[in-house]
Structure 1
Amino acid sequence: MNHLVVYAHPNAESFNHAILETVVRSLQANGHRVVVRDLYALRFQPVLGQDDLAALDAGDVPADILAEQELIAQADAITLIYPIWWGGQPAMLKGYIDRVFSHGFAYVANAQGIERLLEGKKGLIINTHGTPKDIYDQTGMTEGLKLTTDTAIFSFVGIETVGHLLFGGIGYGEEETYNGMLKEVEEAVVSLFPAR
């Protein structure tokens, strides 16, 4: 399978980066082809501006958007790895979705409804957050995050969400705890995307 991993964290020493390395290593060990898009390292322009809107409406897709869309089109599976900041995605990733998952590429909306243009692809989301997981579960945040990504993004464009891992209490755990989380990531990836 062709896997596209979209990663959004500015710190190469972060736990998110350890998750990225685990995902890539696990996929490659199972014989999958992996392309990583590190949005901060790429200095991806996240702001959807009027120039973008005009160009997209005219069918003249800006080069940086087109490059990402071509990678998505080639992918059988898409994995998003990012931290939860202020109850949502980092602006970098939100901007990636705004600009790249555009009308006419990821979906078409018309009087008949929504046509999902990315059907047949699988999606995995891996998030971290500083708040303990129990609190997110009890307050409804966990379910809210799944609705705003699994449903409002992936399902909206036809991507089947096959997994969504959320790890809480990041920044307050022991090394053993983090190692256990990375093991969970590895097991999930191997299970969801077995050897070819």
Structure 2
Amino acid sequence: MKHLIVFAHPNEDSYNRAILNSAVQSLKAEGHEVTVRDLYALKFQPVLTPEDTAAMRAGQTPEDILTEQKYLTEADAVTFIYPIWWTGLPAILKGYVDRVFAYGYAYAYGETGIDKLLTGKKGFIINTHGTPSEIYDQIGMTAGMKITSDTGIFDFVGIESVGHLFFGSIGQIGEAELKANLQQVEQTVKRYFRVNEL
């Protein structure tokens, strides 16, 4: 099965990179064909410009958007891995969604409402944040972020969200807990993405 990972963290030695490596290893061990789109390494241009919009309306989607849409089209499953910044997506990933999950490609308006054009795919998200998870849980932030991304992005275009991992207190917890988080990533990926279940 083909699994697309969209990764958004600017630092090569980040904990998000360790999470990415754990996810890739686990998926490959399960027999998946894995493609990683590292948005910072690609220097992905995140701003949806008037020129982009005009080109897409004219049926001439810009090449960089077409490239990412091709990877997404071919994937059976897609995972986003990114840090929570200001309770949301890093700008480069938000721009990826703005430009790649475009009208006419990922969704459209039909006679009965929204036509979800990416149905048949499974989605998974892994996030890190510095705030303790208990605080985000108590104030409703965790639930809010899940609704924004799992429902507002994935479900809106027909991608079935199978799970969402949040790792809080990053930068404050010790080595043992960091390693335990990576083990959770490996176990969760294997549970959600067994090839014979996709």
Q: What is the TM-score of this pair, normalised by structure 2?
A: 0.97
Counterpart check, 1:178 vs 2:151: no
Letter of the structure 2 residue corresponding to residue 128 of structure 1 = T
Letter of the structure 1 residue corresponding to residue 185 of structure 2 = V
> Moved runs in structure 1, 4+ residues, more than 4 A?
none
Aligned to 2:9: 9
Letter of the structure 2 residue corresponding to residue 12 of structure 1 = E
Aligned to 2:157: 157
1:109 Cα deviation from its structure 2 partner: 1.6
Corresponding residue SS for 2:3:
strand
Cα-to-partner distance string for 1:141-176 (whole Å, 9 max, x where unaligned): 000000000000000000000010000000111000
Counterpart check, 1:63 vs 2:63: yes
1:181 Cα deviation from its structure 2 partner: 0.4
1:32 Cα deviation from its structure 2 partner: 0.5
1:112 Cα deviation from its structure 2 partner: 3.0
Corresponding residue SS for 2:165:
strand
Aligned to 1:22: 22
**Over the residues paired in the alignment, what is the CA RMSD in angstroms?**
0.8
Map 1:87-126 → 2, pairs under 5 A: 87-126=87-126
What is the CA–CA distance in structure 2 between the aligned matches of 1:62 and 1:156, rounded to whole Å?
Answer: 23
Aligned to 1:52: 52
Query: Among the aligned pairs, what percent are the same residue?
Result: 59
Q: What is the TM-score of this pair, normalised by structure 1?
A: 0.98
Gap regions ≥5 residues in structure 1: none
